[in-house]
Structure 1
Amino acid sequence: MIKVDNLRKQVMVADGELEILRGINLEIKSGQTAAIVGVSGSGKSTLLGLLAGLDVASSGEVWIDGVGLSDLDEDARAALRASKVGFVFQSFQLLPALTALENVMLPLELAGAEDAARRATEFLHRVGLEARLGHYPNLMSGGEQQRVAIARAFAARPALLFADEPTGNLDGATGTKIVELLFDLNRSEGTTLVLVTHDEGLAARCDRVFTMFNGELSEG
């Protein structure tokens, strides 16, 4: 599902060129779960952005389901994400002016799904929010908002799901429930799951664990 060959990322700073990623190589098979761990500033979120096609590498290549991202322009990368990739973020990324149902429906409607309302309702039921369909984000707890975000991600039935610190803004008990939900849906949908996390317990539940340190990636 994911293949990475000698991926590098440099940015210009006041002192010159800063190398954030140094020759990353990685393969993740379809259906696997993988965690990327490491200290803040080690390059985890930068790597995730490159894997998802949200940013462009300085050199090297990323393939998603056999498609090389460097061969695609920005519009084509966006189309690939819309058809194959889902996201769950630490900050939920819900639109405050839309209800839970509307937040889940929106990306489905943008993708042209004719059954957006049915699929959004189904996945909100599956995350236990059947009583919250008409509620706005400011009326929901952090855990409920993250459930909406997870429903939104899985409703599109992505082949690949990226989660960036999905429990980072939640208390321990709520975070545990969100983790169970994430893995339950991952198993039932057969999605490839890639997590960036500081939570060692969450990482240990994945099939594979990768560590970022000083811009380099190692397994284990």
Structure 2
Amino acid sequence: MIRVQNLCKTVTSGAQELAILRGINLEIKAGESAAIIGVSGAGKSTLLGLLAGLDNASSGAIFLHGQNISVMTEDQRASLRAKHVGFVFQSFQLLPGLTALENVMLPLELSGRTGAAAKAKTFLDKVGLAERGHHYPRQLSGGEQQRVALARAFAVEPDILFADEPTGNLDEQTGQRIIELLFELNSESDTTLVLVTHELPLARRCERQFVMHDGVLSETSHDEDAAPAGHSEQGAL
């Protein structure tokens, strides 16, 4: 489902070239759940964006759903995302001028799906917001906005769902509700799940765990402490 070969990402800062990702190799099978953890600035979100085809790598290859997205144009990657990929952002990324229902409907309509309104209502109901469909993002709490974002991501029935710090802007109780919804919807849809998180309890809900350190990715096990040295399980990674 996801295969990465010797992936590198460098950026230029003044006269210096900074290596963000260094020779990443990764394979995640269909239906698996995987978490990527690490300190801030380690390259986690950069990797997630590359896997989703939202950015270009400096070198290496990414195969998504059997296709090499590294050689695709932006339009080709966008078409692939519309058919196979869902993305949940930490900052929700809801369109303020659209209602909750319209936000969930939008990707369905853009991909030419039929029955967009009915499907959007179904997924809003799944996240407990059936009665809030006509409210705008500004009228919703942070937790409600993230639930709309989850409904939007799952409504397109993606083969792969990427989530970048999905509970990062939420309080603990609301964040726990979002986590339960994320795995509940993931289980129902048999979707491949790849998430970036600072929270070890969330990471340990996934079948596989990877640690990003200084642009290098390594896999750890549930029996190991995935927290980098100097960080406790309760602390931010």
1 CA distance for matches of 2:122 and 2:8? 41
Distance in 2, matches of 1:47 and 1:125, equals 32
Query: Percent of counterpart pairs with the same letter?
Result: 66
Q: Does the residue aligned with 2:186 lie in a helix, a strand or coil?
A: helix
TM-score (norm 1): 0.99
Match of 1:68 in 2: 68
RMSD after superposition: 0.7
1:132 aligns with 2:144: no
Partner of 2:176: 176
Counterpart for residue 214 of structure 1: 214
Q: TM-score, normalised by structure 2?
A: 0.92
Which residue of the partner structure matches residue 21 of structure 2?
21
Deviation at 1:15, TM superposition (A): 3.5
Number of residue equivalences: 220
Equivalent in the alignment of 1:46: 46
**Equivalence for 2:203:** 203
Residue 76 of structure 1: how far off its partner (Å): 0.3
Q: Does 1:57 align with 2:43?
A: no
Letter in 1 for 2:62: V
Tell me the secondary structure at the aligned position of residue 36 of structure 1.
strand
Name the amino acid aligned to 1:195: L
Residue 72 of structure 1 deviates from its aligned partner by: 1.1
- The one-letter code sitting in structure 2 at the alignment partner of 1:42 is A
Secondary structure of the structure 1 residue equivalent to 2:131: coil
Q: CA deviation at 1:152?
A: 0.3
CA drift at 1:71: 2.5
Confirm or deny that 1:98 pairs with 2:98: yes
Q: How far has the Cα of 1:97 moved from its partner?
A: 1.1
Q: Which amino acid aligns with 2:144?
A: E
Match for residue 193 of structure 1? 193
Distance 2:182 2:139 in 1: 22
Deviations 1:15-67 (A, max 9, x none): 42111110000000000000000000000011011101111111110000110
Gaps of 5+ in 2: 221-237
**Partner Cα distance (1:98, 1:14) in 2:** 40
Comparing 70-79 and 165-174, the one that deviates more: 70-79
Query: Counterpart in 2 of 1:4?
Result: 4
After TM superposition, the structure 1 stretch with the greater mean CA deviation from structure 2, 130-139 or 146-155, is 130-139
Q: Counterparts of 1:48 and 1:119 in 2: how far apart (Å)?
A: 27
Residue of structure 2 equivalent to 1:153: 153
Structure-2 separation of matches of 1:112 and 1:60: 32
Report the 3-state secondary structure (helix = DSSP H, G, I; strand = E; otherwise coil) of the residue aligned with 1:21.
strand
SS at match of 1:108: helix
Question: For 1:48 and 1:178, how far apart are their aligned partners in 2?
Answer: 20
The Cα shift of 1:14 comes to: 1.4
CA displacement, residues 53-104 of structure 1 (integer Å, 9 cap, x when unaligned): 1111111100001100122111101100110000101100111111110110
